[in-house]
Amino acid sequence: MADKLSPASFVQKPIIFGTDGWRGMIAADFTFERVMQVAPRAAIALEQIYGNTTPNRTIIVGYDRRFLSPEFAQVAAESIRNVGFDVLLSECFAPTPAFSWAAKQENALGAIVITASHNPAAYSGLKIKGGFGGSVPPEVTKHVEALLGQDLPTDKTPGSLQTFNPWHSYCEGLSAKVDVGQLRQAIQDGSLVVFADVMHGAAASGLERLLGTPIHELNGEADPLFGGGAPEPLPRYLPDLLAQIKTYQRQSNELVVGLVFDGDSDRIAAVDGQGNFLSSQVLIPVLIQHLATHRGFTGEIVKTISGSNLIPLVAKLHNLSLYETPIGYKYIADRMLESHVFLGGEESGGIGYGNHIPERDALLSALYVLEAVLMAGKDLSEQYADLQQKTGFNSSYDRIDLPLAGMDARDRLVQQLQTNPPKTIAGQAVTDVLSIDGYKFQLADQSWLLVRFSGTEPVLRLYSEAATSDRVQENLAWAKDWASHI
């Protein structure tokens, strides 16, 4: 559930923003005192960087279902109010995308969201969203870190503090993007059966609010321990959902879909009608096919370097351009603000759309997935197999995180990659190397291996895609062995 505790566990780590926010262990790194330091400075940074675009000095404050999240949000709201900002504080938990939506709808400076997303139960965190409705770029979080070394202003007249329900406007916005009535009718007449594991997180009740009819929702009750796991959409945390779908007595005319949401409902995964887990590496190609074919979406497809090689092939089927970014949804959001984007997605489950805010949104993705199944009349895996056949591309994918002995080991591996990168991997020649985020090695057999490092921990992140699962595991095993000998 949580990291093992030792005396070193209680040494406070510096406040550093990662790929999507600042996170830390509750009571050790993430404390009320530190939230009171970070939240007002985040508001000040938003004003200094975006204040000339709006006269509104409102900051949205929201939270997820984690331990003490409402209390952390209250402290954040009051500390922001005390330095002169007007605050709209959520009266309940909601998905992080709902607060991004609120920031844009209210013409606010931005939003502060108390959430650690998919991290284990011992963690909390703080995300910063811009008034445009998406994650702020790295220069904003760097500015917040710089402001931590400066005193807060003491001459400001406190602003106002009001509460609001974030669900109403958010659900109205999502419902306008799909034919909710068609989905509701299919569920009610039994032709579409929907399971959803909300993992005790902020997506709880979300689909039923949107669809206006009951579904099979799992783990909808609050549990600060997340059932002893983590609210991350990975197969090892989904035994109940996989088992229920595999044992479900399906009628011949029923289409069965399982949906999975992470802790703050910005990441999604799915399960097909036979109980097989489907990551966004499968969902993104299926969604591109559906939205281009049935909804006429146009624009650029944005993928991170860890995204499947099937994505550009499906984009090509529809004459869509492709843009590749480093890993981290904020890079996709940046592209959405400067280009006409159809869809942007990452392998970890974050998918966003150009007709929405520049933010990954699992509930909107869920509606589009349900629509794709209903309109095609085919199971998700069947649709994926069709795309593999059309493109002539078959693949398997996996990712592992490899703990290292320490930051010294990390530095040695970085040095090796910079000065003497491998020429062959698992018996295959390296044909190309992309280094916009870590090192992505394209191999002669059309498989690839991506080697990345955590920015704050001695952890090696390894990703691979190949024609078969065995080949993927060979690439990952080679990388583990290589790392152990450097």
CATH of the domain at 378: 3.40.120.10
Label residue 2 by pLDDT band (50, 70, 90).
very low
pTM for the whole structure: 0.93
If phi > 0 it is left, if psi is from -120 to 50 it is alpha, else beta; for residue 347 that is alpha
Q: 442-452: buried (b, 16+ CB within 10 Å) or exposed (e) per residue?
A: bbeeebbbbbb
- 350 with 420, same domain? no
More confident residue, 103 or 253: 103
Is residue 4's pLDDT more than 70?
A: no
In a domain, 1, yes or no: no
The proportion of the chain whose per-residue pLDDT surpasses 90, expressed as a percent, equals 89
pLDDT in tens, 329-344: 888 998 999 999 999 9
Q: In whole angstroms, what is the distance from residue 29 CA to residue 124 CA?
A: 9
- 421 with 366, same domain? no
Label residue 6 by pLDDT band (50, 70, 90).
low
Domain count, the chain: 3
- 315 with 400, same domain? no
Residues in the chain: 486
pLDDT score recorded for residue 1:
42
- 202 with 162, same domain? no
- 345 with 413, same domain? no
Is residue 146's pLDDT more than 90?
A: yes
Of 391, 418, 433, which residue is a domain's last? 391
Give the domain extent around 56: 7-167
pLDDT score recorded for residue 350:
96
- 379 with 404, same domain? no
- 154 with 195, same domain? no
In a domain, 246, yes or no: yes
- 100 with 205, same domain? no
pLDDT in tens, 407-462: 889 999 999 999 999 999 999 999 999 999 999 999 999 999 999 997 667 899 99
Average pLDDT, the chain: 94
- 138 with 28, same domain? yes
In a domain, 2, yes or no: no
- 367 with 437, same domain? no
Chain centroid to Cα 364, Å, comes to 13
